[in-house]
Structure 1
């Protein structure tokens, strides 16, 4: 039997699992030289993400965090998609965690009259590029990002999703 995946709004009880998951993927799977200290938002999820038209969710399997996604309010009915990470063994169609997380965030944004979602990613995340494009995100240039978009040091590829 396949484990059920539950998408739940973030609460501080999940902080250590969220940090561990994200750092493991960044450092061990993709060899990105980034630390917890480089990402202070991970230690301030409620005050950083869960305000205005922003939020942060976890995907749970039997109480364990297996995925994350966040929307950061950048003003003017726009958000930035951030911290989209899924544990390696939960990627793909068997569990569909990435799809569930992304569409949960998009549906949540639609209910709040968000018009556009932007994201920045690294060139290493090739599978993620395919995933975003398959789910309606369009590649854009750096100069097409809205003024309030927080470009991270590792971001080299950018996308836009228009909510209908």
Structure 2
């Protein structure tokens, strides 16, 4: 992945991004009063090779002026038929409200569809109001079976 949105670069994660990507996610979680969980829900950010690259998923970072300002990722899951879960979709406050999140979601969906997956699952927290609105406005349907402790919502979207 190497895509531009305005003056932002969306690209594949590299080893040198590990600490900076983790810092973005940790910051956004703390902004909403949610905890950074390096031994649990956020272990995948510190072990991208194992959780994403080795399983057929992808982990992307968003750069602006050589700084990482956001992340987005997905990996295959055993839930439903040919399913993936979109994970770690976070943007720093300074880059929200300009359509970047919407564009990132569309790019993730396109990559997922191109790989032949049929279902996209997303877990989130009600407190992440902007994320909830984004998913609901893009055809994600509420489901049951939240698996992540800090989340209280799960959505699914079926691809044609």
Q: Write the distance in 1 (CA, Å) between the matches of 2:73 and 2:63.
A: 15
SS at match of 1:51: helix
- Residue aligning to 1:35: 37
- Residue aligning to 1:80: 85
Q: Is residue 133 from structure 1 mapped to residue 125 from structure 2 by the alignment? A: no
Question: Relative contact order (alpha carbons < 8 A, sep ≥ 6): 1 or 2 greater?
Answer: 1
Uncovered stretches (5+) of structure 1, i.e. residues with no partner: 146-150
Matching residue within 21, 30, 49 for 2:52: 49
Report the CA distance between 1:141 and its aligned residue. 2.2
Uncovered stretches (5+) of structure 2, i.e. residues with no partner: none
Cα deviation 1:8-42 (Å, max 9, x = unaligned):
01111111110100001111x11113333332212
Runs (4 or more) in structure 1 with deviation over 6 Å come to none
Paired residues of 2:142 and 2:155 also in contact (CA < 8 A)? yes
Report the CA distance between 1:87 and its aligned residue. 0.7
- Residue aligning to 1:19: 22
Q: Is residue 159 from structure 1 mapped to residue 155 from structure 2 by the alignment? A: yes
Paired residues of 2:37 and 2:43 also in contact (CA < 8 A)? no
After superposition, the CA RMSD in angstroms is: 1.8
TM-score w.r.t. structure 1 length?
A: 0.86
Q: Write the distance in 2 (CA, Å) between the matches of 1:119 and 1:42.
A: 16
* Number of equivalences: 153
Q: Is residue 66 from structure 1 mapped to residue 86 from structure 2 by the alignment? A: no
Q: Write the distance in 1 (CA, Å) between the matches of 2:120 and 2:6.
A: 30
